[in-house]
Amino acid sequence: MAWIGKSHGVFKLHESDSYCGSFLSIADAAEILGVDQDQLSPFAKPDDSGERWVSELDLHKRWGAGDIRSTHPSKVGAATRSFDELILQRLISITFPEATVDIQVPFGRKRMDLAVTLNGTTKGIEFLGPSHFIQQYQRDLKSPFDRKKEAEDSLGYECVLWPFWIQRCTSNVKALFDSSVFGFASVWSTKAHFGDFQLYDSARIIHDITERFGAFRDDGVGYMYLCEHTHKPVHPIIDQILAGKTKVERLIPRDNQFGDGFWLPHSLKTKANKAVDSTRYRA
C-alpha cells in the first residue's frame, strides 16, 4: 500500500462501472468482507452530508491485522491476500452468480490469486500491484508474463493478468469470458506511473495486458487519469504536469512503440509534443 497516495473518490460495489475510488459505504464494505455492518461502524467517518464512509486503505490494514473478523482469510499459507482480491471476488459473484470462485490456487510452489469457473470454463486471475513493475524488494524483477505462462502450463487454463490500472468493475469481469466487451482503465491515487516501470519492454507489456480487457479507446489509454467514463477524481498528476511540477515523461513507458499521445489525456498531448525526448524510452 506504499504506492497509494491520499484517498479520493467513492467506489460503489453495485455500480462499479460508473464509480471507482478509495471510499466505500459501510454496506458495500460489509458485503465485500462478509461481516455485519456494525463491526465496521467504528472505522467509518462522515462526509459533509453526514453519510458515513470507510477508507479502503483502513479496511485493508485492519482486515490484515485481524481487527475485522471476516470469513475471508487475509492469509492462505504463506500468501498474504490483498483487499483488491476481495473486491474482485465479490464483483465476480455479483456479475456471474452461477460461477464458482477459488482463492489462492496452488501451482507448483506458488499460488494464483483467484480462479473463476463459469459454464465449464475456468479463468485464473493474478492481481498485479506496482511492485510487479517497479523494483521494491530484493528479488529480481521479472515480466509478469513469465508467471502467467508458468501458471497456465501447470493448471491448463488461461491466467489473466489484472494490473492496478484496470478498473475493478463489472465490465472488466465480463471481459474475462467475452472478448467483445469494452473494459475500463482507471487510476486516481496511485503514486506509481508507467514512466516509472523498470522492465525494458514496459510499453509492450502494458499494451498487451490492457488489450486483454478491451480497455483502450480510439486515442489510447490516456483517459484513465480523467473522469470521462467513470465518476472519480482526476488524478492529481495531471495538474502537477500542467503546472510544471512533474514531467510528462512520468506517464510514458520505456521502449514506447505506440507514440507519446497514446499514453496521455487530451490536455497533455500538446505539452508532450514540445517536451518529451522519445529516445529516453527506447531500450
DSSP string, 110-143: EEEEEEEEETTEEEEEEEE-GGGTS--SSSPP--
Q: Residue 258 burial (CB < 10 Å; 0-12/13-18/19+)?
A: middle
**pLDDT tens per residue across span 191-231:** 999 999 999 999 999 999 999 999 999 889 999 999 999 99
**CA dihedral sign, ordered 81, 86, 87, 93:** positive
Q: Which 3-state string (H, E, C) describes 166-213? A: ECCCHHHHHHCCCCCCCCCECCCCECCCHHHCCCCCHHHHHHHHHHCC
DSSP 20-38: -SSEEEHHHHHHHHT--GG
What pLDDT, on a 0 to 100 scale, did the predictor assign at position 281? 34
**In which band, very low, low, confident or very high, does the pLDDT at 138 lie, cut at 50, 70 and 90?**
low
Q: Does 100 have pLDDT greater than 80?
A: yes
CA distances from 109 to 78, 142, 222 (A): 11, 17, 38
DSSP 3-state helix, strand, coil percentages of the chain (rounded to 5)?
40, 20, 45
**CA dihedral sign, ordered 5, 8, 9, 10:** positive
Start-to-end C-alpha separation, the chain:
29
**pLDDT tens per residue across span 226-278:** 999 999 999 999 999 999 999 999 999 999 999 999 999 998 987 555 444 43
Dihedral angle of Cα 215, 7, 244, 260, to the nearest 10 degrees: -10
What pLDDT, on a 0 to 100 scale, did the predictor assign at position 279? 36
Q: Whole-angstrom Cα distance, residue 129 to residue 82?
A: 10
Residue with cell 497516495: 5
**In which band, very low, low, confident or very high, does the pLDDT at 13 lie, cut at 50, 70 and 90?**
very high
What pLDDT, on a 0 to 100 scale, did the predictor assign at position 271? 58
**pLDDT tens per residue across span 154-171:** 999 999 999 999 999 999
**Sequence letter at residue 116:** V
Q: Which residue has the higher pLDDT, 114 or 48?
A: 114
Q: Does 182 have pLDDT greater than 90?
A: yes
Local structure of 67: helix, strand or coil? coil
Mean pLDDT value of segment 127-147 = 89
